[in-house]
Structure 1
Amino acid sequence: MSRTTDRRGGRDDSLRVVIVDDSPFMRGLISDLLTDAGVAVVGEAGDGAEALSVVAETRPDVVTMDVEMPGMGGLEAVERLMAETPTPVLMLSAHTAEGAEVTFEALERGAVDFFSKPGGEVSTGVSRESERLVKAVRSVADADLAAATRDRRERENAGSGSKTTTAGVSTPTASAATVDGPLTVVIGASTGGPNAVERVMSALPMADCRVVIVQHMPEAFTSRFADRLNEASAYDVREASDGARIGSGEALVANGGSHTRIDSYRSGRLRVKLEEDDSQSVTPAVDVTMRSAAEVVDGPLVGVVLTGMGADASEGIRAMADAGARTIAQSEDTCVIYGMPKRAVETGSIDEVHDLDDVAGAIVGGVA
């Protein structure tokens, strides 16, 4: 049954959250973890239909939404919420390939971000990740919901794209002729990034160019993310593996379980190495990939920082700029979370700031 509560204990400035999960145990566990962190749980629901009612009544700052539920599941509930009571949603997804597929669909329907539940749908494993869960809830609360749902609205208006066309985006007129020699591109993103990266890659014209993408995402999700980018863009995209090489017209997505370092660059082809580095605050880290690109690549180089929370990429983009790379940040107005681009701009190392739809053209020099 759904219920509305107020556990703020007089903390009127506290973040307000509704928890949606068909398991009473998981609702209680998540509620306790958030409450202990000073987050106000103002409502709970056991399925999507109940969630719509509770959200309309309590008007929370964030909804945590389970995917698999009886009756109205998480996907339909997200879509209905965006239409009826737009609210930032954090999906709670199984840490599996199947969970990844459903999660990406939820992001397309308007969810802002996701939290992969360790140990399965019903598990105390979430307790071990309480800090990460609270951080995710707080970041989603700061999201620009209009930016998060824009892709879905434009897809509905424009229809879906294909391998060589762009969905809802004006394709840049840039071509290989605008690039003086083989171009290496490193793109970094976090919260809001899956849709933003797909938008950039789907609009990026085929050129003498190879791309490395670092998206903050668990290991079980990056392979499917690469598949989606492969389907959406003109580039051949795959998940990075140790020793993988890419040339013109190819792209790699950093593996979620490790850091992707550019190890060598010969005859226009990149070779990457996967490595562990516990000193990094996130895995995979954009900083690691960007710093290695600055050290290794001796041809034309572009660094791109898209929407995301935190400071990852600020050190890397500075290293790339110092190495002579051209550097681009996504504009605040089009970011779901203006964290990573903001920190990158604050370094003084960003050459250009562009709205999301102009980033692809800017990469290959097609935007003035």
Structure 2
Amino acid sequence: MRSVISDILSEGGIDVVAQAKNGREAVKAVREHEPDVVTMDVEMPEMDGIEAVERIMAQHPTPILMLSAHTDEDADVTFEALQKGAVDFFTKPGGEVSMEMSRLKDQLVDIVLTVAEAEPRTEADATNTNAAADVATESYGGQPTLVIGSSTGGPTVVEEVMSSLPLSASLRILVVQHMPGGFTGRFAERLDARSEYDVSEARDGARIGGGEALVAAGDRHMEVANYSHGRLRVSLTDDPPVNSVRPSVDVTMRTAAEAIDDALIGVILTGMGEDGADGIRALKERGGRTIAQDEASSAVFGMPKRAIETGCVDTVTSVESIPAAILDAVPQEAY
């Protein structure tokens, strides 16, 4: 696997400065070579990927791309690595390693180049002041729907935002994180455990009301099919990728703008590419409030930048201030 990956990256114009057969060697190699980016396996002898990520981020913060298998166990470990500071992950294919990896070489080269440009964010950076406790006494109304879109660097940021939203705001939350199938279910479980909201992976025909959230299923677009009496229903489709991704933030935001006649809030977080820009425009034209993560706190400023360039973003702020910006956009209960 090391040889195959090194060959792919070298052929893609990337200078591979070192290889390491375990986490201990990886930590030493990062210290000696100071690379722009590290590809890190999850399972390794002597020192696994989790400990290696933790040590690298403590000693010499460097953008790290995790290589993960399509298993529940690897999914759990991958999310832990992201929590420790890894920027993103790439799923290793099954079957014959060399042939399958070669088939995905363009994707691997692209994501390594993207992660190399990311600003590493250590676990300590996720301060998460948990605004939920501070604003629980507020009275909210308007049956608001919140649509969150994110990509590279997004999972931990989404967790941070979700954990700071009080249940008293009674949001209906739709999360679109660029993530392959097999990982979105685990991601939904993490959000469910870390927030006051009831979070689940979206199923075709799923309905949610206030205090509930859906995470778009990997490799399926999530559309808002209808909305009535404060409850919305989603449908999942296998339509072609939009902006080269599926699920697409644009699809969910656009259909939310078409179907929902109550308060709408759109948030674009860290990520590569332009997905979400058209969705933000659709929400704004519908009268929704729009928020984008600022460059300083974004691992990759691609998606927020493109959204901001539409001229349809109301608020640009740090990840720590996004929960407060969301709550500012929620209508107050009328007396």
TM-score by length of 2: 0.94
Aligned counterpart in structure 2 of residue 81 of structure 1, from 45, 53, 56 = 56
Aligned counterpart in structure 2 of residue 70 of structure 1, from 45, 54, 67 = 45
Residues 1:96 and 2:71 are matched in the alignment? yes
**Structure 1 counterpart of 2:124:** 153
Q: Is the 8 A contact 1:181 1:208 kept in 2?
A: no
Residues 1:237 and 2:199 are matched in the alignment? yes
Q: Which amino acid aligns with 1:94?
A: A
Q: Is the 8 A contact 1:263 1:273 kept in 2?
A: yes
Secondary structure, counterpart of 1:270 in structure 2: strand
Q: Is the 8 A contact 2:131 2:323 kept in 1?
A: no
1:176/1:241 CA distance change after superposition, 3 Å: farther
Percent identity over the alignment is 55
Residues in 1 aligned to 2:257 and 2:329: alpha-carbon distance in whole angstroms: 23
The ranges of structure 1 where at least 4 consecutive aligned residues each deviate by more than 3 angstroms after the TM superposition are: 120-124, 167-180
RMSD across aligned C-alpha pairs, in angstroms?
1.8
Q: Is the 8 A contact 1:169 1:357 kept in 2?
A: no
Residues in 1 aligned to 2:284 and 2:10: alpha-carbon distance in whole angstroms: 43
Secondary structure, counterpart of 2:145 in structure 1: strand
Note the alpha carbon deviations across 1:180-203, whole angstroms, 9 max, x for none. Answer: 410001000001110110000000
| TM alignment of 1:175-254, pairs within 5 A | 179-206=140-167, 207-254=169-216
Deviation at 1:36, TM superposition (A): 1.0
1:263/1:362 CA distance change after superposition, 3 Å: same
Residues 1:319 and 2:290 are matched in the alignment? no
Deviation at 1:174, TM superposition (A): 4.1
Q: Which amino acid aligns with 1:283?
A: R
Which deviates more from structure 2 when the two are superposed, residues 172-181 or residues 81-90?
172-181
**Structure 2 counterpart of 1:356:** 319
Residues in 2 aligned to 1:118 and 1:103: alpha-carbon distance in whole angstroms: 15
Residues in 1 aligned to 2:141 and 2:305: alpha-carbon distance in whole angstroms: 29
Q: Is the 8 A contact 2:147 2:173 kept in 1?
A: yes
Consecutive unaligned residues in structure 2, runs of 5 or more: 331-335
1:83/1:175 CA distance change after superposition, 3 Å: closer
| TM alignment of 1:221-300, pairs within 5 A | 221-280=183-242, 281-300=244-263
1:120/1:336 CA distance change after superposition, 3 Å: farther
Secondary structure, counterpart of 1:186 in structure 2: strand
Deviation at 1:120, TM superposition (A): 6.3
Residues in 2 aligned to 1:251 and 1:187: alpha-carbon distance in whole angstroms: 11
Residues in 2 aligned to 1:283 and 1:337: alpha-carbon distance in whole angstroms: 19
TM-score by length of 1: 0.85
| TM alignment of 1:320-335, pairs within 5 A | 320-335=283-298
Note the alpha carbon deviations across 1:203-241, whole angstroms, 9 max, x for none. Answer: 011122110000000111000000000000000000000
Q: Is the 8 A contact 1:174 1:366 kept in 2?
A: no
1:341/1:136 CA distance change after superposition, 3 Å: same
User: How many matched pairs?
Assistant: 328
Note the alpha carbon deviations across 1:220-274, whole angstroms, 9 max, x for none. Answer: 1000000000000000000000000000100000001200000000110010000
